[in-house]
Structure 1
Amino acid sequence: MLRDKADRAGDMAVFVAVAEAGSLSAAARRLELTPSAVSRVVARIEARLGVQLLVRTTRTLRLTAEGETYGRAARRILADLDETETALADRGCPRGRVRVSAATAHGRLVIVPLLGAFVARHPGIVVEIDLSDEIADVLGGRADIGIRFGPLADSPLTARRLGETGRTVVAAPAYLARAGTPRRPADLADHNCLDFTFRRSEPGWPFREDGRDFILPVRGTLAANNGETLVQLALGGAGITRVGNFHIADDLAAGRLVPLLEPFNPQDREAIHAVFVGGPAMPARVRVLVDFLAERMRGG
């Protein structure tokens, strides 16, 4: 029984090689084993689990759903094992690769400027950052850390609050000179409002007037699926928009954009979290990067 458990890490490494190579023979060449030896390892895993992990024909090999699940878990376990051994060998100095997934605009404006200081502090860690508005599957092993905005869905992932951001209604001086400046939220009915294309639980912009919070529907001739595009449109004088403060801090300071309707701003805040696979097996390289981001982003 103990021998079986001791062999499992080796079995996992063989299975991952098969999954990545796409064939038993290619995996065998990579591992310097015979194809029959690789086949016996896969068969041993399937017998132990009681499920089929691979579907093999004379020409193709594909993973079953159970094989995909086992492969993801095996990659994560092997990475954690490598991290543990490396950290111990380096007397606790975190080493290895950390993959971070962040939204395009927030990553470019907030996360990326912090990474130089992080790698200077931890020269043994290599950070790979993927900027995309698609949500990466952290649980499935596509990223080690995901940066998430707003309420979090139920998940076995661990979440660490990094900060928060507010939103501000803004426009360029050129647009206001041409179209006038709204003094109350209702005035937006006479303006070109630039909004997001994705659906929200309450469509429109929130305001607070006479002690009452409400959502004001807005209309316009341009919309976008990300804040960075809306800011560019506003800078070009296309209309009025409402975006996260991290998008517009520099433009507000330089006067390229002007805040509007601030007495009616409900000061709603959106939480920013890092999500990751936590627990005792959490790699040190992931922990120190999450700690660093929380330290530098505190206050949002």
Structure 2
Amino acid sequence: MARLDVNRSGEMEVFARVVELGGFSAAARAFRMTPSAVSKLVARLELRLGGRLINRSTRRLQLTPEGRAFYERSTRILADLDEAERAAGAGERPAGRIRLNTNASFGTHILAPLVPEFLQRYPGVSLDIVQTDAVIDLLEERTDVAVRAGPLKSSRLLARKLGATRMVIVGAPSYLARCGEPRSVAELEAHDRLGFCYARTIEGWPLIRDGAPIRLPTVGSIQASDGEALRHLAVGGAGLARLAAFTVREDIRAGRLRAVLEDANPGDLEEVHAVYLGQGGPLPARVRALLDFLAERARVR
């Protein structure tokens, strides 16, 4: 079949929608087609490309490695086409919906106060904001940008650094009055140390004891799924928490929390990045606008 006889961008769009919506029927409804027509189009695409893109089962669709690679390239090409049309018709004004995933602490203390400013600057853009401290797969979650704290693993993701923040151990005055303020790492071992209920890259609390670095496990009756939950628990007097300084700065200033054992703090910094899919090619204007805005206004310290 001659390439001019194939609507390749149309095939890419249908295939991408099948992946994003999780099935042929949902994609068919979106395009006002029949499920069999969508299935045949994907089968024809696989035949033309010479390989299976999707493993089909009665319960769900699963991308093959070739299918995942084709989806990533297709979405970039479709985004470039959309951007070219917007540039020709609207002076390249950022427009469209952005799906942003962020950890709860960044979303609460830094992002939320800035959202009105961003939307006022780019009225053609809308935001879907999902808060979770768990590391997600941007492709599977159909996410444009994710904010991540901590060391970055080597991956296909590109990143913009938003800053770095020191870590601090804090407790509520009510907890410290009830359980005593730890004056040494040895005393700290007897306290409730609030932690996360999922595996992290860095486990335990890095500390300095007798001039040497150690790592103290989090041991307590409560664990939580995100830093904001731990902050609220610490403010409520449930135990001590080791949190990013920017998340507890106002609590310390207001007297809701007190920093403890600063002389045992190793001074380690937690970096924060905005990550996104891509191989260095052009980004959709809306995504580029968000990344530039975060780098300009959402600085972490």
Q: 1:190 is paired with a residue of what secondary structure?
A: coil
Q: 2:189 is paired with a residue of what secondary structure?
A: helix
**Alignment pair present for 1:231 and 2:231:** yes
What are the within-5 Å matches in structure 2 for residues 114-263 of structure 1? 114-140=114-140, 142-200=142-200, 203-209=203-209, 211-217=211-217, 219-263=219-263
* Inter-partner Cα distance in structure 2 for 1:197 and 1:32: 44
Deviations 1:51-78 (CA, angstroms, capped at 9, x unpaired):
2446789x99956635565455434432
Q: 1:193 is paired with a residue of what secondary structure?
A: coil
CA spacing shift, 1:95–1:261, aligned 2, 3 Å = same
* Inter-partner Cα distance in structure 2 for 1:254 and 1:128: 32
Which stretch shifts more, 124-133 or 14-23?
A: 14-23
Q: 2:177 is paired with a residue of what secondary structure?
A: helix
> How many residues in Structure 1 have an aligned counterpart in Structure 2?
298
TM-score (norm 1): 0.83
* Inter-partner Cα distance in structure 2 for 1:217 and 1:22: 44
Deviations 1:94-141 (CA, angstroms, capped at 9, x unpaired):
212211111123212222221111111111111211112333322446
Q: CA deviation at 1:14?
A: 3.9
* Inter-partner Cα distance in structure 2 for 1:108 and 1:96: 24
**Alignment pair present for 1:297 and 2:259:** no
Unaligned runs of 5+ in 2: none
What are the within-5 Å matches in structure 2 for residues 47-126 of structure 1? 47-53=47-53, 65=64, 66-67=66-67, 70-71=70-71, 73-126=73-126
Is this contact kept in 2: 1:23–1:61, CA < 8 A? no
Q: CA deviation at 1:10?
A: 2.1
Identity of aligned residues (%): 44
CA spacing shift, 1:177–1:139, aligned 2, 3 Å = same
Structure 1 or 2, whichever has the larger Rg, is 1
Q: Cα RMSD (Å) of the superposition?
A: 3.4
CA spacing shift, 1:110–1:68, aligned 2, 3 Å = same
**Equivalent position amino acid for 1:260 in 2:** V
* Inter-partner Cα distance in structure 1 for 2:141 and 2:86: 20
**Equivalent position amino acid for 1:136 in 2:** I
**Equivalent position amino acid for 2:233 in 1:** L
Deviations 1:182-209 (CA, angstroms, capped at 9, x unpaired):
2222221333322333345664322235
Is this contact kept in 1: 2:167–2:244, CA < 8 A? yes
**Alignment pair present for 1:287 and 2:288:** yes
